[in-house]
Amino acid sequence: MSNSDASVRAEALESLLIDKGLIEADQIDQTIALYNERVGPMNGARVVAKAWKNADYRKKLLEDGSKAIEEFGFVGGQIDKLVVIENTASVHNVVVCTLCSCYPWAVLGLPPRWYKDPAYRSRVVREPRKVLEEMGTVVPEDKLVRVWDSSAEIRYMILPELPPGWSDLSEADLAERVSRDSMIGVEILGAV
């Protein structure tokens, strides 16, 4: 379907739903504004920075992600059960949804196109090192690679390793440096 075909078809559906009183035009605008303004990886980054700075919080986060992030009051959904997985010196973790595009919206925002495209979904469960290398991330040979396929309603977020040299930064400064991709597991922070 071309972009203009999709555009007019979406307009037709929206118009029909409004005619039938199933949806209001305001709701559409409010939803779009909410996600554009308040839902994004800056939320997950705050969680990661806090876990790096606070060992007790880190422990709670790894035990029960949904409960540990309650204090932030994030909106956006898709975190019925959030499981946070830590990258360590021996294991590198990466997340995918091979069947559709499951992703923890409330902490990472809406997923990028590549996460939803066939190339990533088909390949990362089979040859993750190669896929990550093509995306600019070389996983050290001595690490095991563990891929998490989110096939049910559990949502996964990666707690990246704190890069050497970042330990003196404040929590707020750290939060600004944590990337979306590091929390999906396709990037290693601080790697040159």
Q: Report the interface residues with another protein, using CB under 8 A.
A: 1-3, 5-17, 20, 22-24, 27-29, 31-32, 35-36, 77-78, 80-81, 83, 98-101, 109-110, 112-114, 116-123, 125-129, 131, 134-135, 143-154
C-beta of 53 vs 129, nearer to another protein: 129
**Between the CA of residue 140 and those of 88, 129, 183, 188, what are the distances in Å?**
12, 9, 18, 10
**How many whole angstroms separate alpha carbon 115 and alpha carbon 90?**
25
Task: Examine the residue annotation and report whether 15 is marked as an active-site residue of this protein.
Answer: no
State how far the Cα of 158 lies from the Cα of 192, in Å rounded to an integer. Answer: 20
Distances in Å between the Cα of 142 and the Cα atoms of 128, 139, 145 are 15, 8, 10
Residues 6+ apart with CB under 8 A from 182: 48, 158, 160, 188, 189
Active site residue 7: no
Nearest-approach distance from CB 58 to another protein, in angstroms = 19
Least spacing, CB of residue 73 vs another protein, in Å = 15
Clarify whether 97 is annotated catalytic: yes
Q: Which of 7, 100, 167, 170 is catalytic?
A: 100
Q: Are 93 and 24 in contact (CB under 8 A)?
A: no
Between 90 and 168, CB nearer to another protein:
90
What gap in Å lies between CA 20 and CA 37, rounded to an integer? Answer: 29
Q: Which is nearer to another protein, 43 or 162 (CB)?
A: 43
Q: Which of 95, 109, 100, 72 is nearest to 146 (CA)?
A: 95
Q: Which residues are marked as active site?
A: 97, 100-102
